Structure 1
Amino acid sequence: MKARALFTSLAVVLSVSLLAIQPVSALTVIDPTNLVQNTLTAVRTLEQVNNQVQQLQNEAQMLSNQGRNLANLDFNVVSRLRASLARSEQLIAEAQGLAYDVQSLDSEFARLYPDEYAATVSGDQMYRDARERWEHAINGLHTALRMQSQVSHNLGEDESALADLVGQSQSATGALQAMQATNQLLALQAKQSIQAQQLQLTQDRAASLELARQAAASQRAREVRRRFLGEGTPYTPHAVQFYGY
């Protein structure tokens, strides 16, 4: 508006000046109204051009912002997390003793941890079963210790991945990069939760195997004692006299 008023004033002054300096014969050539109108038209055209330039600048800035928001995060720790979990899963797969499969576990448990021993089971068989139960308990403890060592090793890798992800999140240039970094942070948290469950699984398994071994050992001891005493009337000591004394 200030520019328009300035150009209008300039046009008026110019027309008055021309009227003052031109001879009378030339006054019929100058049209002040037309000059003012042309000047106003030029001012409006200049304003439109300025508005269009500003609009183009705004659109360019908007496109630049959209480009940053849509920029992909060139960083991914998912493969590292999967490899870490795969190592833990491999330890569970290598676990010896009672299988983790439910059907196989039921049949093996019924054989090695019976509620009571049948009379047809020999003493040697009970000894071999006791030995196998002891081996299962040792293997369960070994698996739990191996898992603890693996988790301890994985924690160092998790700390490195966490530091990398935090750095990527803080340096993200757009919404997409920030969201992708956040998703990977959530994946790391989920991985640690799964890892904790794996560790708890092996520890609980080792404890359960030991408790089952103790219970089976008590049952075996009762059976051995029963077989030693026999089914008849137990021996009752009484005084014995020799030669009438």
Structure 2
Amino acid sequence: MRYRLIPAVMVIAFTVSSSPPAHAQWAVYDGANHVQNVLIAARTLQQIDNQITSLANQAQMLVNQGRNLASLPLSTLSTLQSTISQTTALLAQAQNIAYSVQSVEQQYQQAYTSVSSGMSDSALFSQAQTRWQNSVGGFEDALKLQARVVGNIPSASSAMTQLASASQSSTGALQAAQAGNQLLALQSRQLSDIQAELAANGRATALQQARDAATEAESDAQYQHFSQHDAYVPGAVSMFGGSGN
């Protein structure tokens, strides 16, 4: 029995030893290649982030340009022009001697510098009345203009408040510049009002001073007329139809 088992064991051993050896399948890890891929991905993400930031900056720049080009929604120029026109109209309505060099030269020569002793009493009276009317009209014109200037103060104050607020809340350079320009225009109008008022007051004062000077010349002419009459001769006066003293 032992003799028969030996060949069987030998066959099994031979079979095992003659079979080809088995090999395990393992993935190969390349560390350098992995690091390189990570760096490339990081650089790509950084480039994308830079592009996003650049686009955001460009968009903000366009927004800022739009704000800088935006016009100021508030405009007071029409109101300023209206008040200036009203003041100019009052100056144009000056009575008698107007604000004109030619008018002043002509009328001043006739009413203020032509007084002489050779003029008749009626002519002297007529010129005196003309000078009085000129003085009264000059003061009236000055009072009207002063009333206009004072009436412009509330509108100027309101416009200044609105423009100052618009300048502080402006969203861009153009709005700030336009608000500043309108403030300068408002100040120019106020200066024009002051200039017109000074001119009207000066005109009234000048007319009165000229009248005073002409009155002195008129008084001298009247004295000359009086001195040319015959001396006074007293005589008897009859009262109540009676005679005697």
TM-score by length of 2: 0.80
The alignment status of 1:161 with 2:148, answered yes or no, reads no
Runs of 5+ consecutive residues of structure 1 not aligned to the other structure: 1-22, 238-245
Report if aligned partners of 2:117, 2:225 keep a CA contact under 8 Å in 1: no
Partner of 2:34: 35
Per the alignment, residue 69 of structure 1 pairs with 68
* Contact residue 117 and residue 224 of structure 2 kept, 8 A: no
- Mapping of residues 101-180 of structure 1, within 5 Å: 101-114=100-113, 116-117=115-116, 119=118, 121-180=119-178
- Write the distance in 2 (CA, Å) between the matches of 1:131 and 1:146: 22
What code does the residue aligned with 2:207 have? L
- 1:96 correspondence with 2:87: no
Q: For residues 125-152 of structure 1, give each alpha carbon's deviation from its aligned partner in whole angstroms, at most 9, with x where no partner exists.
A: 1111110110000000000000111111
Aligned sequence identity (%): 38
> Structure 1: which amino acid aligns with 2:148?
Q
| Partner residue in 2 for 1:10 | none
Q: Structure 2 CA distance, aligned partners of 1:24 and 1:55?
A: 53
The reply on whether 1:191 has 2:189 as its aligned counterpart is yes
C-alpha separation in 2, matches of 1:118 and 1:110:
16
1:24-63 superposed matches below 5 A: 25-27=25-27, 31-63=30-62
State how far apart, in whole Å, the 1-side matches of 2:219 and 2:203 are.
Answer: 24
Bigger shift: residues 47-56 or 130-139: 47-56
**2:84 and 2:189 in contact (8 A); partners too:** yes
Counterpart amino acid of residue 127 in structure 2: D
Are the aligned partners of 1:140 and 1:202 in contact in 2 as well (CA < 8 Å)?
yes
- Aligned match of 1:240: none
Distance in 2 between the 1:183 and 1:190 partners?
A: 10
Q: CA deviation at 1:26?
A: 4.3
* 8 A Cα contact 2:117 2:222, kept in partner: no
Q: Identify which of 221, 224, 227 aligns with 1:226.
A: 224
Shift in alpha-carbon separation, 1:202–1:182, aligned structure 2, 3 A? same
Residue 212 of structure 1 aligns with which residue?
Answer: 210
Question: Deviation at 1:32?
Answer: 3.8
CA deviation vs aligned residue, 1:19-78 (integer Å, no higher than 9, x gap): xxxx864446x5443333222211111111111111111221222122212211111111
Gaps of 5+ in 2: 1-22, 234-245
How many angstroms apart in 2 are the aligned matches of 1:191 and 1:117? 45
Computing the radius of gyration over CA atoms, which structure comes out larger, 1 or 2? 2
Q: 1:181 aligns with which of 179, 182, 195?
A: 179
Would you say the 8 A contact 1:115–1:219 is kept in 2? no
2:48 counterpart letter in structure 1: V
Amino acid at match of 2:89: Q
Q: Deviations over 1:145-179 (max 9, x none)?
A: 00111111101110111111111112111111111
RMSD of the TM alignment (CA)? 2.1
CA–CA separation in structure 2 for the residues paired with 1:172 and 1:112 = 58
Name the CA shift for 1:236/1:142 in 2 (closer, same or farther; >3 Å).
Answer: closer
